[in-house]
């Protein structure tokens, strides 16, 4: 992916050299070359590519991607970090306070708010995610 609008105008390289490089990558190596104007467009493009790739074989689109090898403690933290507005620091605080993932999932909104960094908004969102029915 070539990112940026000024590929040809803001560089001290001839157009032929740039086009030659792009052509070589595409034709000689069989690698598609895609252009985007900025970081946001690149992120959007990568999301579309990933979605198409996973749907091609009727795969479910993975929200988190490949799961890395982790210890039990790391898995617990990873799971809690998936809750709304929960950073690594807050996940550790929640796990320390409640002792387990189940302890967090069984906590009331008021109990969650006893943890430093968890206000009403975050507590409400956590409860909503943990207790709402799943609909496809």
HEC profile of 28-77: HCCCCCCEECCHHHHHHHHHHHHHHHHHHCCCCCCCCCCCCCCCHHHHHH
Q: Provide the pLDDT confidence category of residue 57 given band limits of 50, 70 and 90.
A: low
Out of 1.10.150.20, 3.10.20.30, 1.10.10.10, 3.40.50.150, the CATH code matching 72-131 is 1.10.150.20
Distances in Å between the Cα of 45 and the Cα atoms of 51, 57, 61, 110 are: 10, 19, 15, 41
Q: Provide the pLDDT confidence category of residue 61 given band limits of 50, 70 and 90.
A: low
Task: Give residue 58's pLDDT.
Answer: 67
User: What are the boundaries of each domain within the chain?
Assistant: 2-56, 72-131
Instruction: Name the CA dihedral angle for 39, 44, 48, 53, rounded to a multiple of 10 degrees.
Output: 40
Cα 23 from Cα 30, distance rounded (Å): 10
Cα 59 from Cα 128, distance rounded (Å): 27
Q: Provide the pLDDT confidence category of residue 51 given band limits of 50, 70 and 90.
A: confident
pTM of the model: 0.55
Q: Provide the pLDDT confidence category of residue 66 given band limits of 50, 70 and 90.
A: confident
**Exposed/middle/buried for 135, CB within 10 Å: 0-12, 13-18, 19+?**
exposed
**Is CATH 3.40.50.2000 what the domain over 2-56 is classified as, yes or no?**
no
Cα 23 from Cα 25, distance rounded (Å): 5
pLDDT surpassing 80 at residue 12? no
Place of tokens 């403690």: 73
């Amino acid at each position: 992916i070539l990112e940026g609008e000024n590929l040809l105008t803001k560089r001290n390289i001839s157009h032929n050299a740039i086009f030659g490089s792009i052509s070589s990558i595409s034709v000689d190596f069989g690698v598609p070359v895609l252009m985007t104007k900025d970081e946001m467009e690149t992120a959007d493009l990568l999301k579309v590519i990933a979605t198409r790739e996973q749907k091609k074989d009727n795969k479910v689109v993975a929200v988190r991607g490949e799961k890395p090898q982790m210890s039990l403690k790391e898995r617990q933290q990873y799971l809690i970090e998936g809750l709304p507005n929960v950073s690594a620091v807050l996940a550790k605080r929640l796990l320390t306070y409640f002792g387990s993932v189940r302890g967090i999932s069984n906590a009331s909104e008021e109990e969650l708010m006893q943890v430093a960094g968890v206000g009403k908004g975050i507590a409400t969102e956590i409860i909503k995610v943990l207790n709402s029915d799943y609909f496809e």
